[in-house]
Amino acid sequence: MGAETTDFAQALRDAGLRVTPQRMVLLSILMGSADHPNADELLARARAVDDSVALATVYRTLSALEEAGLIRKLTLENEPARYEITPAAEHEHIVDIDSGEVIEISCDEINRLRRELLDRLGYEIVSQNTLIRARRIRKPGQG
């Protein structure tokens, strides 16, 4: 069995980035987070591990990781940007407008349709971000 899932140093090297404690910490936090933390939250979580991390470093690291394709920036509405590990498959983000909770859904059919549509227009998709503002009307799978 490989050690890929936790070899942050190797992931950084593979991305052509220098390995620093700050980058290791931030990358590990992002990989271990089920939610989509923003810069402030990442700073707090990083400082729980290494007290000296600065907010400027968080922003610079996020830019570097994003440019390397390791993470994705989520620009939601009326709130600071959030970040997630680059997903294996494109997916949609649903924001529950009452609770603020963000959940993800993946739909191959939508992804395929979108790719075909763009292709017909002469475009190749680089990345995609769908933000759905929705309201819970009942428990799933019922009614």
Partner DNA sequence: TTTCGTGCAAAAATTTTGCACAAGC
Partner DNA sequence: GCTTGTGCAAAATTTTTGCACGAAA
Contact 65, 25 (CB under 8 A): no
Instruction: Give the CA count within 13 Å in the CB-facing half-sphere of 131.
Output: 12
Contact 83, 62 (CB under 8 A): yes
Both ends of the chain: CA-CA distance in Å? 45
Q: Which stretch binds DNA (CB under 7 A): 49-57, 86-94, 103-111, 135-143?
A: 49-57
Cβ proximity to a second copy: between 18 and 120 the closer is: 120
Cβ proximity to a second copy: between 34 and 126 the closer is: 126
Cβ proximity to DNA: between 59 and 111 the closer is: 59
The binding track of 95-114 with respect to a second copy, each residue x by CB under 8 A or -, is -xx-------x-x-xx--xx
